[in-house]
Amino acid sequence: MSQLLLGYASRLLGCQSRSGSAATTAAAAAILSQQPVRHKSPLQKVRKRGPFPEWTKTDPDPHLFTRHIPKTDERRTKAVRPPGKYQIFSVHYDPIVNSFAGHFVKCGERDKLRDVFTQMMAEIKHIQMARRNAAPPEEKASIEVDPTRVIHKAVENCSPLLIIKHVFRGGFLYKVPCPLRESESQMRAFKFLRIASNVRGTKEHLYRSLARELVNASNNEGKAVHAKLQLHKTCEENRAYANYRIT
Amino acid sequence: RSIANWLLRRRQLSPFGACVNRRGGASAALLTDESAPDRHSLDRHVGLLYRPEEADWQAVTRHFCRPELVRLFDTLGQRALMVRRPALEIGERLAEHAGDGRPCLRFVLYGRRGSGKSLQMGHVASACRRRGWLLVTVHNAHLWMRHSRELHESAHRPGMFDTAGYGCIWLRHFYAMNQEILPGLRVTKELSWNAKESTPAGSSWKEVIDYALARPRYSCAAVQFLIDEIKLGSLPMPTLVCFEVANCLWWHRSGIKNDAIRRTPLQGEEPPWRADITAKQLTLLDAFKQLLDSDWNNGAAVMSVSPQGALFDRLREWMPRKLLGDEGFAYLDPFVPVYVEPYGPAEMSNMLNWYTESGWLTSEAAATDAGRAELAFLSDGNAGELLRIAGEW
């Protein structure tokens, strides 16, 4: 046992010698004479129940070495949620576009969808640039060409503020307008856009119909925005039952 | 700290480190004023972008570009193509080779899918057109093998099949490409279409083409007659043959079954066994294959072999020996193989600069160092991939 402890101590000191030289033994003895410290796991101090903060750029990248971070730095023990499965560390990464892509995935074929989205964003550029070339000079600046910004605007325009939930009360089914969380509102927007871009049969590719629908929605036109406005209208009609909601 | 530094130094030493400019971000694209492809030279113009002239573009270069690239140029309102080494080297050899009396010189462009083989052929073709050569270009041979419009039993070559629709389309395309040269060319012998009709010797090539367009049934025969004329070697100017995706000429399978033939079955005839029609049975493809042989003078042939035109068993291959197979390689041997390599750092940097300058890269990230390095990494120097990915940024 003492041999094991000596070996441990010598490794701590960084020397590889197995033969007990005088200096090594003395140093090892010095370490061993100290009071044994019970090393608690550092995470024990900070372990708590969620929700944990999102991973940000200042937190250590899980793919890089961490030896250069000092041991007492709070980054070593800070509890953060691990990055998402499809969250890439790229200058071009956009969380809304990423979630939008995830909404369209069928049978787990996300790679196939990546190509569709690349074509779709190029198509948005083509549509908007053609429109900008044809527009009079005073309107040119107001036409947005960047596909990421067009998608943001379209999603914002399609996001409902209230949603109808069905509440069964006293033998009747009431349509009750309820508020939405931000993530749910975004999901509803994605769903409106997806359903609006569905074209029957193989007449048109998804990238083309989706690009057209996004451009329309960013201008507050089109089927997706119409669906959102219909929902708002239904909520307005049923506002008398708002107090029936179950939060 | 030392490990982080080591990583940073590695990133700076990457082969695409040159895409990251010292000043940071994008800089001006390097364009040359020389819009004539036959005046580009290896010492001055390699790696620069040039703007093709309108006449050259409409007649020749447009057909060698992908539809996505043509659409991009229409949207941006400007065109810029890169001058690269393979096209200039072939162009130099052709300039020496013309009028020598030597047999047809054959070049085979090879490279990964999207590396730019067709555009290099387009550069060579437009340079030769400016020098007054006759151009014979085929772009869609692999599509002819996958889809059949109409198939008829051939009258001028018994046992083979005519694709009349594609023959007409090709004749129109050939006429549009060589409009200045064709009025001066005459047919040297009498062409008999059938037992009753024939075109006399000495009539112009335009008359032959017009006859075939009016009677589509004879379009493949017209193509065969014109190719026979070229192979006689008596034309006043040299001929350049450009064949994209030449490996489809030796396919043993195709998308066409032999019951696609439109004819009334004879009495008591059994339905034919559904076999694929191979390239050897199509008159149009066989006619162009004859031009790729080396038994004629006063001309040259530039071909490309591409995995895009490969059958299902060879989809991952891109080397000529693998794509052509035994038969194709033996037919084309000896040829000059020309490798179309991926973009180098300077070319990639120039291309990214042009995309940023013309306004196609709209994202702010695309102008930064990290964005440019990422674009270079994702496309891996492949020109077609960069075009596709840049649509997103």
Same domain, A16 and A137: no
What is the predicted pLDDT for the residue at B139? 94
Do A106 and A223 sit in the same domain of this protein? yes
The Cα–Cα gap between A178 and B108 comes to: 68
In a domain, B327, yes or no: yes
Q: How far is A121 from chain B (nearest CA, A)?
A: 5
Residues of chain A contacting residue B393, judged by C-beta atoms under 8 Å apart? 92
Asked if pLDDT for residue B109 goes beyond 50, the answer is: yes
Q: Both A147 and A230 in a single domain?
A: yes
Q: Which residue has the tokens 């005073």?
A: A138
User: Within 10 Å of residue A106's Cβ, how many Cβ atoms?
Assistant: 8
Q: Is residue B136 part of a domain?
A: yes
**pLDDT band with cut points at 50, 70 and 90 for residue B8:** low
* Nearest CB partner across the interface for A133, out of B3, B77, B370: B77
Q: Establish if B33 belongs to a structural domain.
A: no
Q: What pLDDT shows up at residue B12?
A: 47
Cβ separation of B75 and A146 shorter than 8 Å?
no
Please state which of the ranges A121-130, B194-203, B307-316, B382-391 shows the lowest mean pLDDT.
B307-316
**A145, B77: Cβ pair inside 8 Å?**
no
Any chain A CB within 8 A of the CB of B370? yes
Mean pLDDT, residues B121-148 = 90
- Determine, for residues A92 and B4 on separate chains, whether the beta-carbon distance falls below 8 Å: no
Which residues in chain B are contacts of A67 at CB distance < 8 A?
Answer: 3
Compute the distance between CA of residue A197 and CA of residue A191 in angstroms, rounded to an integer: 10
Residue A20's pLDDT band (cuts 50, 70, 90)? very low
Cis peptide before B334 (omega within 30 of 0): yes
Task: Please report the pLDDT score of residue A31 as a whole number.
Answer: 56
Q: pTM of the prediction?
A: 0.80
Does A64 sit within 8 Å of B359, measured CB to CB?
Answer: no
Domain count, chain A: 2
Phi, psi of B257 (to 5 degrees): -100, 155
* A201 and A111 fall within a common domain: yes
- Looking at residue A15, what is its pLDDT? 44
CB atoms B359 and A145 under 8 Å = yes
Residues A104 and A220 both lie in one domain? yes
Alpha-carbon distances, residue A27 vs A8, A17, A22, A33, A37 (angstroms): 12, 13, 9, 10, 18
Distance from CA of A127 to the nearest CA of B (A): 9
Kindly identify which residue of chain A lies nearest to residue B76, measuring between CA atoms: A129
Partner A, chain B 3-22, Cβ-Cβ below 8 Å = 3-4, 7
Domain that includes residue A148, residue range:
100-244
Residue type, B138: V
Stretch 337-366 of chain B: residues touching chain A, C-beta under 8 Å: 359-360, 362-363, 365-366
Average pLDDT over residues B113-133: 94
Per the domain annotation, does B280 fall within a domain?
yes
Could you tell me if B143 and B166 are in contact, meaning their C-beta atoms sit under 8 angstroms apart? no
> What are residue B116's phi and psi, to 5 degrees?
110, 25
Work out the pLDDT band at B13, boundaries 50, 70, 90.
very low
Q: How many Cβ pairs within 8 Å bridge chains A and B? A: 54
This model of the complex carries an ipTM of 0.85
pLDDT at B84 over 90: yes
| Residue A51 belongs to some domain of the structure | no
Q: Does some domain include residue A208? A: yes
Angle (CA) B14-B19-B22 rounded to 5° is: 100
pLDDT number for residue B259 = 64
Looking up residue A161, the CATH number of its domain turns out to be 1.10.455.10
Q: What is the DSSP string of B305-360?
A: E-GGG--GGGTT--SHHHHHHHHHHHHH-S-EEEE-PPP-HHHHHHHHHHHHHHT-
Does A122 sit within 8 Å of B391, measured CB to CB? yes
Is B63 a residue whose pLDDT tops 90?
A: yes
**The pLDDT value given to residue B68:** 94
Model confidence at A2: pLDDT above 60: no
pLDDT in tens, B223-238: 999 999 999 988 889 9
DSSP-assigned beta bridge partners for residue B153:
B161
B331 has pLDDT over 70: yes
Residue A168 lies in a domain: yes
> Residue B188: inside a domain, yes or no?
yes
Q: Do A125 and B393 touch (CB under 8 A)?
A: no
pLDDT of residue A17: 44
Is-contact B252 B278, C-beta < 8 A?
yes
Lowest average pLDDT, out of A2-11, A232-241, B69-78, goes to A2-11
For chain A, say whether B275 makes contact (Cβ under 8 Å).
no
Query: Which residues partner with A163 through β-bridges?
Result: A178
**pLDDT in the model for residue B145:** 83
CA B345 – CA B24 distance, rounded (Å): 15
Highest mean pLDDT among A196-210, B142-156, B360-374: B360-374
How does A173-193 read in b/e, with b if 16+ C-beta sit within 10 Å? ebebbeeeeeeebbebbbebb
Q: How far is CA B166 from CA B149, B272, B328, in A?
A: 8, 24, 23
- Across the interface, of B1, B71, B393, the residue whose CB is closest to A92 is B393
> Is the pLDDT at B318 greater than 60, yes or no?
yes
Contact A149, A219 (CB under 8 A): no
A26 and A132 part of one domain = no
Q: Which domain holds residue B299?
A: 86-260+274-339
Lowest mean pLDDT across A193-202, B70-79, B116-125, B247-256? B247-256
Task: Retrieve residue B55's tokens.
Answer: 């006449």
Residue at A89 is within a domain: no
Q: State pLDDT tens for residues B337-392.
A: 999 999 999 899 999 999 999 999 999 999 888 899 999 999 999 999 999 999 99
In the predicted model, is pLDDT for residue B83 greater than 50? yes
A190 found inside a domain:
yes
Is residue B16 domain-resident? no
A145: chain B residues, CB-CB within 8 Å: 359, 362
Lowest-confidence segment of A17-21, A181-185, B43-47 by average pLDDT: A17-21
Determine whether the interchain pair B1/A121 forms a contact, defined as Cβ–Cβ distance below 8 Å. Answer: no
CA nearest to A106, candidates A222, A1, A206, A220? A206
The answer to whether residue B292 scores a pLDDT higher than 80 is yes
Looking at the DSSP bridge assignments, the partners of residue B297 are: B103
Other C-beta atoms closer than 10 Å to the C-beta of B392 total 24
Tokens standing for A181? 């969380």
User: What's the confidence (pLDDT) of residue B43?
Assistant: 84
pLDDT bucket at A244, cuts 50 / 70 / 90: confident
User: Residue B300 falls within a domain, yes or no?
Assistant: yes
Q: Say yes or no for a CB contact (<8 Å) between B75 and A90.
A: no
Check residue B151 and give its pLDDT. 81
List CB contacts (< 8 A) between B68 and chain A. 122
Q: How far is A188 from chain B (nearest CA, A)?
A: 24
Mean local confidence (pLDDT), B322-339 = 92
B58 in any annotated domain: no
**Contacts B365 to A, Cβ<8 Å:** 90-92
pLDDT at B2: 58
Domain containing residue B318: CATH number: 3.40.50
| B-interface mutation test, from A91, A121, A144, most B Cβ less than 10 A away | A91
Mean pLDDT, range A137-149, rounded to an integer: 94
Higher pLDDT, A67 or B26: A67
Same domain, A25 and A104: no
pLDDT of residue A75: 75
User: Is the pLDDT confidence value at B99 over 70?
Assistant: no
B371 contacts A92? CB cut-off 8 A: yes
Read off the tokens for B339: 């490798």
- Per the CB < 8 A criterion, the answer to whether B328 and B368 are in contact is no
Residues of A in contact with B77 (CB under 8 A): 133
**Number of domains within chain B:** 1
Query: What is the overall mean pLDDT for chain B?
Result: 86
Beta strands, E only, A16-136? none
Q: With beta carbons under 8 A apart, name residues in chain A contacting B359.
A: 129, 145
Q: Across residues B21-32, what is the average pLDDT?
A: 66
Cα distances (Å, whole numbers) of residue B127 to B60, B92, B130? 10, 10, 5
Is B384 strand, coil or helix?
helix
